[in-house]
Copies of this chain bind each other. A is one copy, B any other.
């Protein structure tokens, strides 16, 4: 072949499924969107039009469905790992598998103070995520890989206890220093464990609570500082977490100048603006021994 196939990945995206656990009178529901990507010895498909080693993406979809029937997809991490392992085990020519799960949470309806056995609300913008990247072990052992857990769509706002001042000034600076502003963001979090947690859903819930608590806990001199505090608090409280990545766009609320209408505006009326927006992203991890 005259040119080199430097990298490739192919797969199926947005395989959606709803699993209902009806074993008890009180039903459980898990709803996922699954992405699968494969890498391995697929060059001939690209360079020779030879599909002999191509697992159709339609087959990937069917595989997701069959595994979701036989397993409990509710524990995202084990479901993603087991699903990914299948491809490594079933096909010698596949070297790497990437699986991403995105869970839409359904909240049990509470009616007249009672949790309902089979009615749910799906009104949350939050999504639980789990990404597994795994590779065939060179010695034929279990595949190796990493599990990254996360959440998306956690929209937070505080009406005070936030400012931004003493920043660098140059000839393009027009932003005034401010010691009281609205701070709002849409948190995307990802984290990795250094060991398997006792309860995958339990620790996921606790991490979410820590992030919210720290966002609100004290004065924020910048998104950066609050992001670092949020990530650090997770590492403080949960020893099994090794590193935390947070993306926190700055969803600006601009103070309105109402003086043209003879009105004051003592930090009460703002205009939300989506664009342009600041974007702050960082990964915080435990200190690694040098060497």
| A159 CB-CB contact with B under 8 Å | yes
B residues less than 8 Å from A47 (CB atoms): 225, 228
Give per-residue flags for A219-232: 1 if the beta carbon is below 8 A from chain B beta carbons, else 0: 00111110110011
Task: List 23 contacting pairs A-B, 8 Å CB cutoff, sorted by A.
Answer: A2-B287, A3-B285, A3-B287, A5-B283, A7-B283, A8-B224, A10-B282, A13-B278, A16-B271, A16-B276, A17-B272, A20-B268, A22-B160, A45-B225, A46-B225, A47-B225, A54-B168, A56-B175, A58-B278, A65-B258, A68-B269, A90-B170, A109-B156
A-B complex: 4 closest residue pairs judged by Cβ atoms? A119-B216, A57-B278, A122-B155, A49-B221
B residues less than 8 Å from A109 (CB atoms): 156, 212, 216
Answer whether A14 and B212 are a contact pair too, CB < 8 Å, given A62-B174, A263-B69: no
Q: How far is the CA of A119 from the CA of B66 in the complex (A)?
A: 37
Answer whether A272 and B20 are a contact pair too, CB < 8 Å, given A4-B287, A49-B222, A224-B54: no
Give per-residue flags for A244-275: 1 if the beta carbon is below 8 A from chain B beta carbons, else 0: 00000110010010101101011111111111
Are A63 and B172 touching (Cβ within 8 A)? yes
B residues less than 8 Å from A175 (CB atoms): 56, 58-59
Are A165 and B276 touching (Cβ within 8 A)? no
| A116 CB-CB contact with B under 8 Å | yes
Q: What is the total number of copies of this protein in its complex?
A: 4
CB proximity of A63 to chain B, nearest CB, Å: 5
Secondary structure dominating the interface of A: mixed
Q: How far is the CA of A18 from the CA of B272 in the complex (A)?
A: 7
Which of A123-131, A134-142, A199-207 has 4 or more CB atoms under 8 Å from chain B? A123-131
Are A276 and B121 touching (Cβ within 8 A)? no
State which of B14, B62, B126 has its C-beta within 8 Å of the C-beta of A277.
B14
CB proximity of A21 to chain B, nearest CB, Å: 7
Give per-residue flags for A95-131: 1 if the beta carbon is below 8 A from chain B beta carbons, else 0: 0000000000010010110001011111111100000
Which A residues contact B (CB, under 8 angstroms)?
2-22, 27, 29, 31, 35, 37, 42, 45-59, 61-63, 65-66, 68-70, 90-91, 106, 109, 111-112, 116, 118-126, 153-161, 164-168, 170-175, 182, 184, 209, 212-213, 215-216, 221-225, 227-228, 231-232, 235, 243, 249-250, 253, 256, 258, 260-261, 263, 265-288
Are B153 and A123 touching (Cβ within 8 A)? yes
**Most central of A3, A27, A90, A164 by chain B CB within 10 Å:** A3
B residues less than 8 Å from A277 (CB atoms): 12-14
State which of B4, B54, B263, B282 has its C-beta within 8 Å of the C-beta of A222.
B54
Answer whether A58 and B174 are a contact pair too, CB < 8 Å, given A160-B118, A166-B52: yes
